[in-house]
Structure 1
Amino acid sequence: MIQEPVVQADNLDLNISPDGFSLENITGYALEYGIPLLKAILIYIIGAFIIKKLVKVTSKLMDKRDYDVTLKKFLTSLLKWVLTILLIVTVAGTLGIETASFAAILAAAGLAIGLALQGSLSNFAGGVLILIFKPYKIGDLVEAQGELGVVKEIDILVTKLITPANKLALIPNGPMANGNIINYTAEGKMRVDTTVGIGYGEDMKQAKDALLAMLESNPKVLKDPAPSVNVSELAESSVNLAVRPYCAPEDYWDVYFWTIENTKLVLDREKIEIPYPHAVEIHKEA
């Protein structure tokens, strides 16, 4: 009878798993990868919570300072994306991923985009300045970059004006922010400047009184500041009178055209001559 070999229980390796991995290796892997993964998850959760709170606080501060809605949405979105990218890089570093090359790629991409969009970035910066400092707002009558019109819309890159001819003018915000801007609406009232000439032989006081009464009869002409009619120039063939009523910005063109038309009618009624150039004939003796 063949005797089976006796195997001593003390010689068995109980740490060997069926697939060949030891319990010590599994514990080592858990400590090596599990703890950094857990740290990365915690960092992401806490970071996302902080980003959400920062964006919310920033939005409330912009509301208190009455920031434009377009600028508010853009800045909060920009803040959220920048912080999120930084959070992702931090999480990647916690997992042992090399972040130096990743940061270099981001920097190179940012530089390339900046060079490609140099003009647009200038307009973007101008738009941010306009929306923050508000040299004009929607509905204002402004003159800038050779254009006169009512502000229809202020985008982050361009300002849209409606001209007196009802045309849409698109002006880049870069030149708008760096150039001269005349805001006719800012003070809530505008002066309408017109000039009319009368003959040297006419009654100047009569002309001034008649024109002043004409201006005061128009309900769109403001009482304060009061309209005025003054001598502005002693020209070669006429005494020039500056006719200057004030009005609300939205009434500017109505008052302007009304003043020109009625100035002629009033002077004709008062029989006051408006001189004009005369051709002079020169006769030579034979």
Structure 2
Amino acid sequence: MRKGCLENGYSLTQGMEKIMDKVWDFILDKGPRLLLAIVILVVGLMLIKWVEKLVKKILLKSRIDETAHKLIVQIVSISLKVLVFLMTASQLGIDTASLVTLLGAVGLAVSLAVKDSLGNLAGGFLVLFSKPFVKGDFIETNAVSGTVHNITLFYTTLKTPDNKKIFIPNGEISTAKIINYSAEETRRLDLIYSIGYNDDILQAKQILREITEGTPLALKEPAPEFLVAEHGSSAVNLAVRIWVKTEDYWALNFYMNEQVKLAFDKAGITIPYNQLDVTVRRD
């Protein structure tokens, strides 16, 4: 029995020696490649962290909208990590060509499944980099209007004057007509006021001029214009064109409408309106 135990112990020792020999052979054969792969991975990840910080600093000094900063950093980071992963796999003897083909096939399948979302993503890139508007601008697009509240990769959020939020897919915005009312520092306010044919045109124009020149909201240059726009069917239409700072546009609009009505009433100038004569026939 003792002899059997000795034989078993000897066999176990031989087995351990064989395993250690194989491990040692693997280390001698694959060790340098494995060590180099680890170095590539560690150094690569460290360099990626450094590149991320560098890209952030460059973006802060650029004119690119802040909304796109995080996205750009993520794209750079993911691209570099994929590159480091492929370099590490290649060092370990993995066929990177097959790996790239597999990743491409998976990417194609995913892109076909989410093509609408990818369209919105592409639209988001166009909006962020072409910058037809920025956060805080008042815009009109796709028959809706509002102040730009937020711009993300897939949606742009507008806040309406009555405090509603509108979420518009960027894919639609990128192909639609966009009117940006906040793009310039000044705008022209166009107003039409109607007077009767029996009223004095020169007097009405003088009243309009005095009201305009009496408010600091109206810019002196370019000079305001007071024109006879049209001889209507029941009224003479006077056009007023006033240049105003963009942020004062609506304030001046409401001010002019109120003051003109009060001044015309005081001067006895009529403001015609459509009338319907009804004849009642009694049998």
Q: TM-score range by the shorter chain?
A: 0.7 to 0.9
- Structure 2 length as normaliser, TM-score? 0.84
Please state how far the C-alpha of 1:70 moved relative to its aligned partner. Answer: 2.4
Q: Which of 102, 105, 127 matches 2:102?
A: 105
Please state how far the C-alpha of 1:127 moved relative to its aligned partner. Answer: 1.8
Amino acid in structure 2 at the alignment position of 1:147? V
Paired position in structure 1 for 2:235? 238
- Structure 1 length as normaliser, TM-score? 0.83
Paired position in structure 2 for 1:136? 133
> Quick one: distance in 2 between partners of 1:23 and 1:105?
36
Paired position in structure 2 for 1:223? 220
Number of aligned residue pairs:
269
**Structure 1 residues 31-70: aligned runs within 5 Å:** 31-70=28-67
Give the gaps of 5 or more residues in structure 2.
1-12
Is 1:82–2:74 an aligned residue pair? no
Q: CA offsets, 1:35-94, max 9 Å, x none?
A: 110121122133223323333333333222222222111111121112112211221221
Paired position in structure 1 for 2:26? 29
> Quick one: distance in 1 between partners of 2:144 and 2:219?
26
Please state how far the C-alpha of 1:281 moved relative to its aligned partner. Answer: 7.2
Task: Give the direction of change, closer, same or farther, for the CA distance of 1:20–1:159 in structure 2 (3 Å limit).
Answer: closer
> Quick one: distance in 2 between partners of 1:126 and 1:25?
57
Paired position in structure 2 for 1:204? 201
Is 1:117–2:114 an aligned residue pair? yes
Tell me how large the CA RMSD over aligned residues is: 2.7
Q: Secondary structure at 1:232's aligned position in 2?
A: strand
Q: CA offsets, 1:93-134, max 9 Å, x none?
A: 211234344333322322222222222222222222222222
Amino acid in structure 1 at the alignment position of 2:127? I
Q: Which runs of 4+ in 1 moved over 6 A?
A: none
State the identity %: 38
Contact preservation (8 Å) 2:65, 2:134: no
Contact preservation (8 Å) 2:124, 2:153: yes
> Quick one: distance in 2 between partners of 1:34 and 1:101?
24
Q: Which of 70, 88, 91 matches 1:94?
A: 91
Q: Secondary structure at 2:218's aligned position in 1?
A: coil
Amino acid in structure 2 at the alignment position of 1:136? F
Amino acid in structure 2 at the alignment position of 1:190? R
> Quick one: distance in 2 between partners of 1:105 and 1:274?
76
> Quick one: distance in 2 between partners of 1:270 and 1:117?
67
> Quick one: distance in 1 between partners of 2:159 and 2:265?
36
Q: CA offsets, 1:177-220, max 9 Å, x none?
A: 22221112221122222211112222111101101211222232
Structure 1 stretch displaced more, 37-46 or 203-212: 37-46
Paired position in structure 2 for 1:6? none
Contact preservation (8 Å) 2:184, 2:246: no
Is 1:145–2:142 an aligned residue pair? yes
Higher helix proportion (structure 1 or 2): 2
Paired position in structure 2 for 1:262? 259
Task: Give the direction of change, closer, same or farther, for the CA distance of 1:173–1:24 in structure 2 (3 Å limit).
Answer: closer
> Quick one: distance in 1 between partners of 2:25 and 2:278?
115
Contact preservation (8 Å) 1:207, 1:267: yes
> Quick one: distance in 1 between partners of 2:187 and 2:150?
22
Task: Give the direction of change, closer, same or farther, for the CA distance of 1:27–1:180 in structure 2 (3 Å limit).
Answer: same
Please state how far the C-alpha of 1:24 moved relative to its aligned partner. Answer: 7.4
Contact preservation (8 Å) 1:141, 1:249: no
Structure with bigger gyration radius: 1
